[in-house]
Structure formats: structure tokens, C-alpha cells
Structure 1
């Protein structure tokens, strides 16, 4: 495409370029395939309980029937591994990856807002978005838990439904990088998801690098922020739900 003439007003040039970057409208078949892919990503990122483990063959069959896309290839690599593991190993790997390992928790607002008051407002906004669409969360998860966000995206569609995923693109990139560094097969699931989103910008990549180096925002609100003690006391941060032990008490001194 030839460059836009310099005589075109800046506002028009900006809006034309934005329109050029906007993806083409999806066909009904593409929309259905995209929703199914998001639903599969949501399922595969959930805790591998007995019900999910028992459905592994069915999940592999559904993934194999997806259109030949990069996302389908990533999911196939994951389900091959998922189907070959015993249940106990899957449970252990999930807990170690998402509950105990730094930088790979699945609560998206933490990466954007950290342990600050803004995170509470972000959770409220997400919940209001769900309710406005007629969707009520069950199961006890927070509204920013990635499988929940994915379920909403699959149900509500590529526009408003996927808006929270686009908003938290940088957090998703950080989780994917952490899973890749750890060699976890779950990196394929995140790669499938990220491949459905608009390409990362240079600003996105710079923000992820800062997030890796500095961690999420912090705010003293009467509680020590994540990462203050123990294994996370060297400037690195712990994901939500990670147990961070308190500072050990000084030993009682006897009479001298």
C-alpha cells in the first residue's frame, strides 16, 4: 500500500491507518471456530481435576478437528503432553506452575495494577462488564482469573467479549514468557491465546520488560505487598495466592 499523501489532515491519516490495521470482519464459521478455541484454552488452563482428566481423549479429538491454524498447532502439542501424563503428575505440575511459581499466576489485574487499590476497582469493573452481558460468575473464582476471562470472551464474542484480553495483553505476554523460561508445556496454551490477539507493539514489549525487571505496582495500604519476604525478598514478586511467610520472630532471650 502506498504512503498516504502528506497533505491529508493528521486526524484523517490516523483514522485511516487505524482502519487499515483493523482485522477483517470474521465469517460466522470463523467466529464459531474462534469461540471454540477460546473455550478450549479456558478449559486447559483450569486445574486438572478428575473431571478434566477423564475428558482428555475428548479434548484431544476436538483440538485435532480444529481448522489448521497456528493456535490449533499449539493446542495439539499441549494435549499430546496432557494425555500422556498421570493424574497426580498433572496436578503437581499445575500447582507448581500457577500457584507457587513467580510471574505465572493467572489473575490478570495483578500484573496491571499490582497490590494497589486500583486492582479492586479493576475487579469491580470486570464484574460489571460480565453482569451487563447477562453473565454471572460461579465457582468462586475472581473475575480476572484467566479461565473466567476466556470463558466470557468465548460467549460474548470478538468485540466486547475479548476486550479484557486485549487490555491485559502485557500480562499475558509475561505469563507466556515465564512458562517458556520454565519449560512448562502450558506455554503452548498461552501461545495459542496470544496468537489470536493483535500483534504486540514495541511499547508492549518495553512494558513487559519493565514488568519483568520491576514487578507490578506497589502501594502501602496497611499490608506488606507481595514479595516483601522469604523467597520473594530480592526484588522479585509473587503472584496472587502465593504463600509468603512472615518475618521470623526474634528468639526469646533468657536472663544474662
Structure 2
């Protein structure tokens, strides 16, 4: 019975995490209400972890939350949510790696979102939760170490978003903390080629108007 329930539990965690990792804008309140409803169906430690971030976000006004989001995810490379940054950096390989994500979306019958890069963690979580859990889980598992790097960076910064990424990692195959630390210390590949991000249409943040 537990095996049958676990995939659904993972999808609920992924959907809640995608909403909590979205850029705080005017839709923040409704997103948090949706997460509250999802938490009614999520059991175990994940519910408590996600609930901590819900409470922290509800305690902050939207502008303060948005400023913290930008400071955390946009201004600190160590806590980027672009998963291929850690595996390819600014090299020619990164474009090909992002296309793997985009192709997975197309193979599942949906178009990559236009408002965000295809390897952006909230986009991948949304895809895994709502479109194709098998392909989505594979993308997440294949990038478990970058997700662990993000988790460790958020823990080191005592970020309110750390519990969310911790809940996500609990749904994936184990990876060594040493691998994440090694990647954080060595950094991504460094061949700069001036890539333009592949732009994708699922929400994590508004394409216009807001930051």
C-alpha cells in the first residue's frame, strides 16, 4: 500500500514546492492557499517542512518576500535554481543540456514555458507534478547533486526556502553530501560563451512587471 501511495505523495510535494519556490508577486496569497490545501493530503516530514515555509511567507509582506527571493536566488550563484548551471556552467554544453529538459516537455505533449528557462527548478517540479511524473522524476534524479548544492546553500544562509528544497530531496534517490560540497567548492565549468537562456510558459514568475 505504501508503494502505491508514495508516487502520489511525491507529486503533491513537487506541486507544493513549485508554488512555494515561485517569485512572490500578487499571486502569492492564492498560491499559499493552494499549498495549504495540498498539505491536507501530504503526510510525514514533508508536510512539516513545507508548512514552515508557508508560515514564513505568510508572516512577510509581498515586497519583503520578493526582495529576499531576488537576493537569494538571483544574486547568489551558489543558490541558483537553474540546474544546468552546476553541470555545464557557461559552456557550449549548457545549451544542449537545457534542450534535454525542453525535449522532455515536448515528448510529454506540452510546450516548454516561455517565461522561464526549462531547467529552472520550479518549472521542472511543476512538470513532474502535473504533466509527466516519470519523465519529471528522471530529470530531478539526474540533477540530484545540483539540487543538493542548492539545498546546502540555502541551509548555510538560513533561508526560509531551505525546508522546501529539503522536502524535494527526500523524494529522490540519495546522493552524497560530499558530492554536493565538492561541486560547491569546485564550481561549474567555466568556458564563457555568452549563452542566451532558453526561455520557456509555466509560471514560476511573471514574464513582465515585477522585479
Q: Which TM class, normalised by the smaller chain length?
A: 0.7 to 0.9
1: distance between equivalents of 2:30 and 2:42? Answer: 24
Tell me the SS of whatever aligns to 1:162: helix
- Determine if contact 1:154/1:161 at 8 Å carries over to the other structure: yes
Candidates 164, 169, 172, aligned match of 1:197: 172
Candidates 181, 200, 204, aligned match of 1:209: 181
- Consecutive unaligned residues in structure 2, runs of 5 or more: 195-211
1: distance between equivalents of 2:31 and 2:42? Answer: 21
1:52 corresponds to: 28
1:155 Cα offset (Å) = 2.6
Tell me the SS of whatever aligns to 2:3: coil
2:199 corresponds to: none
Taking only aligned residues, the RMSD between alpha carbons, in angstroms, comes to 2.1
1: distance between equivalents of 2:190 and 2:2? Answer: 40
- Determine if contact 1:39/1:154 at 8 Å carries over to the other structure: yes
2: distance between equivalents of 1:84 and 1:61? Answer: 18
2: distance between equivalents of 1:101 and 1:85? Answer: 21
Summarize the Cα distance change of 1:54–1:161 in structure 2 as closer, same or farther, 3 Å threshold. Answer: closer
2: distance between equivalents of 1:136 and 1:25? Answer: 33
Q: What is the TM-score normalised by the length of structure 1?
A: 0.70
2: distance between equivalents of 1:25 and 1:85? Answer: 37
2: distance between equivalents of 1:108 and 1:146? Answer: 7
1:1-46 deviations in Å (ceiling 9; x for gaps): xxxxxxxxxxxxxxxxxxxxxxx9831x443332122111011101
- Consecutive unaligned residues in structure 1, runs of 5 or more: 1-23, 224-256
1:95-120 deviations in Å (ceiling 9; x for gaps): 11111123001100111111111111
Tell me the SS of whatever aligns to 2:148: helix
Structure of greater relative contact order (alpha carbons < 8 Å, 6+ residues apart): 2
Summarize the Cα distance change of 1:67–1:129 in structure 2 as closer, same or farther, 3 Å threshold. Answer: closer
The alignment status of 1:188 with 2:160, answered yes or no, reads no
Q: Which contiguous aligned blocks of 4+ residues in structure 1 show a shift greater than 3 angstroms?
A: none
1: distance between equivalents of 2:26 and 2:47? Answer: 24
Of structures 1 and 2, the larger Rg is shown by 1
1:82 Cα offset (Å) = 1.2
Moved more, 211-220 or 177-186: 211-220
Candidates 90, 114, 136, aligned match of 2:111: 136
1:80 corresponds to: 55
Summarize the Cα distance change of 1:157–1:25 in structure 2 as closer, same or farther, 3 Å threshold. Answer: farther
1:55-74 equivalences in 2 (<5 Å):
55-63=31-39, 65-74=40-49
2:13 corresponds to: 37
Higher helix share: 2
Q: What is the TM-score normalised by the length of structure 2?
A: 0.84
Tell me the SS of whatever aligns to 1:50: coil
